[in-house]
Amino acid sequence: MAIVEKVELVKKEQIKSDIYKYSVKSDKMANQAKPGQFLEIRVTDSIEPFLRRPISIHNVKKDEGIIEFIFQVKGKGTELLSERKEGELIDIIGPLGEGTFNTNGYEKIAIIGGGIGIFPLYELAKQVKESGKTVNMYLGFRNKDFVILENEYKEVANNFTLATDDGSYGENGFAINFLKDDISKNPVDCIYACGPLPMLKAVQALAKEKNIPCQLSLEERMGCGMGVCIGCAVKYKTETEDTFKRVCREGPVFDANIVEI
């Protein structure tokens, strides 16, 4: 069950000019957090900016009661968040989202992420690798200036491919092309993806074509993040159901076969 808590920012790292990694202390949140879940962060005590900001959980250190999240400064909300100092308290609701990455029964998985969409994939990869299963990881970035956290992600993968769209670093091309080549030789049990919409669409199509289970982590503008406003709707279609689901509640991770993006 999600909780609302003022948690201490115990460690603040700037990992790029506009990207920060925050470690916050909350035993309760760390204890329950599952891969794929997110937090709703209040960036001010005032009413402006008004809404909380959804940010994915990147890493969970259960034994220390630490949750890490990484965010890029985009607009005024993340700007304010980036001004917080170690030792300060941050008002957070979490962990949120009942649709989490599900790895039951899979022995060998592929994880593909693009740009700042890679953050929710770390905890997933870490847990799967720790449990002795195989993680093939594919990360794509626009060019070498956008590459982040290469070493961290390499550590939680058994096989690791990093690609840039222009070839300025790592492999040359879209990450999905490498995933595609690999799975035609060496199939995987499930594909997990998070990243820009065009990438998610391509992964969804690939998984369908190869008939491989696939789970996508989605983003949508949210009002509350807790399931009550039904703002973050995504089209969901099965044989019996044609409806909207809430990204914040039934998601943010969805079965790629059912969700329409």
Partner 1 sequence: MINTEVDFAGIKMKNPVTVASGTFGYGREFSEFIDLNKLGAIITKGTFLKPKLGNKPARVCETAAGMLNSIGLQNPGIEYFRDNDLPWLRQFDTKIILNVGASCLEEYVEVCKIANTLDIDGVELNLSCPNVKAGCMACGTSYEGVKDVTAAVRKVLDKPLIVKLTPNVTDIAMIARGAEDAGADAISAINTLLAMKIDIEKRRPVLANNTGGLSGPAIKPVAVRMVYQIANAVKIPVMGLGGIMNGDDAIEFMLAGAKAISIGAGNFIDPTASIKTIEGIENYMQRHNINDINSIVGAVQMN
Ligand X SMILES: Cc1cc2nc3c(=O)[nH]c(=O)nc-3n(C[C@H](O)[C@H](O)[C@H](O)COP(=O)(O)OP(=O)(O)OC[C@H]3O[C@@H](n4cnc5c(N)ncnc54)[C@H](O)[C@@H]3O)c2cc1C
Ligand Y SMILES: Cc1cc2nc3c(=O)[nH]c(=O)nc-3n(C[C@H](O)[C@H](O)[C@H](O)COP(=O)(O)O)c2cc1C
As measured in angstroms, the least distance from the Cβ of 21 to ligand Y is 32
Strands 171-172 and 159-164: parallel
Per CB under 6 A, does 244 bind ligand Y?
Answer: no
Question: Cβ closer to ligand X: 59 or 164?
Answer: 59
Per CB under 6 A, does 223 bind ligand Y?
Answer: yes
For residue 257, the SS3 value is: coil
Residue 220-239 contact track with partner 1, rule CB under 8 A, x = bound: xxxxxxxxxxxxxxx-----
As measured in angstroms, the least distance from the Cβ of 83 to ligand X is 12
Distance of alpha carbon 102 from alpha carbon 108, whole angstroms: 13
Distance of alpha carbon 8 from alpha carbon 161, whole angstroms: 35
Per CB under 8 A, does 90 bind partner 1?
Answer: no
As measured in angstroms, the least distance from the Cβ of 29 to ligand X is 15
Which token pair is 57? 């959980």
Q: Is residue 71 a contact partner of residue 19, using CB atoms and an 8 Å limit?
A: yes
As measured in angstroms, the least distance from the Cβ of 229 to ligand Y is 4
List alpha helices for 11-65, DSSP H: 27-32
Spacing of C-alpha 87 from chain mean position: 26
Per CB under 6 A, does 51 bind ligand Y?
Answer: no
Question: Cβ closer to ligand Y: 15 or 229?
Answer: 229
Per CB under 6 A, does 196 bind ligand Y?
Answer: no
As measured in angstroms, the least distance from the Cβ of 164 to ligand X is 19
140, burial (CB in 10 Å: exposed 0-12, middle 13-18, buried 19+):
buried
Residues 6+ apart with CB under 8 A from 82: 20, 71, 73
Name which of partner 1, ligand Y, ligand X, none residue 215 binds, using a CB cut-off of 5 to 8 Å depending on partner kind.
none
- Residues at the interface with ligand Y (CB under 6 A): 223, 229
